[in-house]
């Protein structure tokens, strides 16, 4: 493992240079990787593994939308596409990529195929960490491992096709065979990771749930909505408010931050922008820090898991979810965004 200095903290990471694809293929040459679920992560991970030369099959409910998508992506029924239970039986590594709610629902079906020496693979620590609520408790005679790409399955696939990678965390919850580490790193390389950094199931889900509710989606939507509303209230047009709030950020500044860092951004903007950003960023940090602390505590206590599981059990959950999503879609902010995107050159 390579030792990298991250701002004064030394971490060990796995790169594709030290653990090349041919090494990963060698470790897994006798394994059959069964991808269970073809929703968010399933397509990207399975297609990347297949294109990299691994022995991959997909398990999905027959005649579902996801089954049809798998067919359209080139998976062949009876050859490398099977119903869930048959795929679980065939697989020596079961990549459990159903939604958290789906994992709870299908656990009894999957568990009976976890025979001695197999590996159970997750891309999210939810089911294992909150086992008191999910009842997902694997047998003791299997490896339990995790590779969590830091992005959507769509991004994982797009970057792979471009010849790039998406960074991933990895974790080992249970090492029955003594080979869990080789298995999980080989799988991490196989799915198209840029580099791999080690974590635990608990830390993965705590950071992931905090991020989703925070800077990845929840907090950023809140910031966009607040600034847009203030600008509109003060008489700015929808186009001006949207461009100053979202378009300039996502199309101009955020890509530069991704390439060079926020420190570079601060050093390479106008002195007026520089002064204002330096004066205000700590005020925003101090304002939202207590909110993030409450959020993390809610994740750590299991309350966020309880809310999620309870919501998914409601018979009318999908109907209620669609209404909440429509509130975003039908807001002036994102209706304006739809029109602005059409005008991009």
Catalytic residue positions, numbered? 124
H or E element that contains 10: strand 9-15
DSSP assigned state of 251? I
Angle at Cα 249 formed by Cα 323 and Cα 124, nearest 5°?
55
The Cα-based distances of 117 to 185, 281, 318 in angstroms read 17, 51, 38
The Cα-based distances of 292 to 86, 133, 208, 216 in angstroms read 43, 24, 13, 13
Contacts of 259-267 with C-beta under 8 Å, sequence gap 24+, read: none
Contacts of 227-235 with C-beta under 8 Å, sequence gap 24+, read: 228/332, 228/333, 232/332
Residue 107 tokens read as 């656990």
């Amino acid at each position: 493992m390579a030792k990298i200095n991250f701002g004064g903290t030394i971490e060990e990471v796995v790169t594709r240079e030290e653990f090349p694809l041919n090494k990963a293929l060698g470790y897994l040459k006798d394994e059959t990787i069964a991808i269970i679920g073809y929703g968010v992560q399933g397509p990207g991970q399975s297609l990347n593994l297949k294109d990299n030369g691994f022995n991959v099959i997909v398990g999905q409910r027959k005649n579902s939308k996801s089954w049809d998508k798998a067919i359209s992506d080139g998976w062949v029924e009876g050859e490398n596409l099977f119903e869930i239970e048959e795929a679980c039986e065939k697989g020596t590594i079961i990549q459990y990529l159903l939604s958290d709610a789906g994992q709870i629902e299908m656990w009894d079906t999957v568990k009976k195929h976890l025979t001695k020496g197999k590996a159970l693979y997750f891309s999210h620590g939810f089911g294992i960490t909150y086992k008191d609520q999910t009842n997902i408790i694997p047998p003791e005679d299997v490896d339990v491992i995790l590779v969590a790409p830091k992005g959507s399955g769509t991004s994982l696939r797009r970057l792979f096709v471009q010849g790039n990678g998406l960074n991933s965390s990895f974790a080992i919850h249970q090492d029955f065979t003594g080979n869990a580490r080789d298995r999980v790193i080989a799988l991490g390389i196989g799915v198209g990771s840029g580099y791999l950094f080690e974590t635990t199931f608990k830390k993965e889900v705590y950071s992931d749930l905090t991020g989703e509710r925070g800077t990845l989606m929840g907090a950023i939507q809140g910031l966009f909505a607040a600034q847009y509303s203030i600008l509109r209230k003060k008489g700015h047009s929808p186009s001006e408010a949207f461009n100053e709030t979202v378009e300039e950020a996502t199309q101009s500044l955020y890509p530069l931050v991704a390439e060079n860092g926020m420190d570079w951004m601060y050093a390479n903007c106008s002195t007026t922008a520089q002064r204002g950003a330096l004066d205000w960023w700590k005020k925003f940090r101090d304002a939202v820090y207590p909110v993030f602390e409450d959020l993390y505590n809610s994740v750590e206590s299991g309350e966020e898991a309880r809310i999620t599981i309870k919501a998914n059990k409601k018979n009318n959950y999908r109907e209620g979810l669609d209404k909440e999503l429509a509130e975003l879609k039908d807001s002036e902010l994102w209706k304006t965004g739809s029109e602005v995107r059409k005008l991009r050159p």
